Amino acid sequence: MSTTQKIALVTGATRGIGFETVRQLAQSGALVLLAGRKPDSAVEAADRLKAEGLSVEPITLDVTDSGQIAAAAALIQQRFGCLDILVNNAGVLVDDLQRKPSAQSLDTWRKTFDTNVFAVVEVTQALLPLLKAAPAGRIVNVSSQLGSLGWHTDPSSPIYDFKIPAYNASKTAVNAWTIHLAYELKDTPLKVNAIHPGYVQTEMNGGNGEIGVSEGARSSVGMALLDANGPSGSFTHLGKTLPW
């Protein structure tokens, strides 16, 4: 490994957008830690990218498991001493799409926020010292246009009729976390941004998206590789600002 090679970690990376984000970051020259809940799945996914000649290593990380988060941070500290890029990609959508917002169960809300919000905060908190130790750390929080309150209250917006309450609210919370953390770090080289990947064809939506994972990963990768002049505290899709 080159001493100048960036070290990146992508959560929820054994398939879909996360997997493609790992590929594109590795293609840029980074050594990427491909994180997955199940060790076998992480190893299999990493081996597929290694076969392409890419610098990818598997890491077991269930983002809802505090012990695994602490272990991942300790491993990165021991091996590398810093972390250049964190992509908080892991997420779930468990709303019952046949139910109205008021009929979603509390268990649905709890499961959604455990993974989509609380895990993002805990993983970031655990890895923040390593990101601060890098020359110019980058944090990318994978959000969604469905988290936009501006669009949800605008009848002419493209998402006005997509009321998936627990999932949507969790992404709104991710956006708020992004703003607050970016403010905290505004006088440092570290940048924090939220992105909307697009309506991507993934298992989460049954393959019903409008774009492939290759394009879906581009927003995350672009923000992960920002130079010193790039934004912090933004919410974008392919560089285009989205309404909060």
150-156 contacts at long range (C-beta below 8 A, 24 or more positions apart): 150/243, 150/244, 151/242, 151/243
171 is catalytic: yes
- CA–CA distance, 3 with 198 (Å, rounded to integer): 34
Reduced DSSP (H G I as helix, E B as strand, rest coil) percent helix, strand, coil of the chain, to 5: 45, 15, 40
The one catalytic residue in 111, 132, 160, 167 is 167
132 is catalytic: no
| Of the candidates 62, 179, 161, 165, the residue with the CA atom closest to the CA atom of residue 113 | 165
Would you state the structure tokens that stand for residue 225, as one six-digit string? 């590789």
| Of the candidates 76, 51, 50, 48, the residue with the CA atom closest to the CA atom of residue 61 | 76
The one catalytic residue in 171, 186, 191, 199 is 171
Catalytic residues: 167, 171
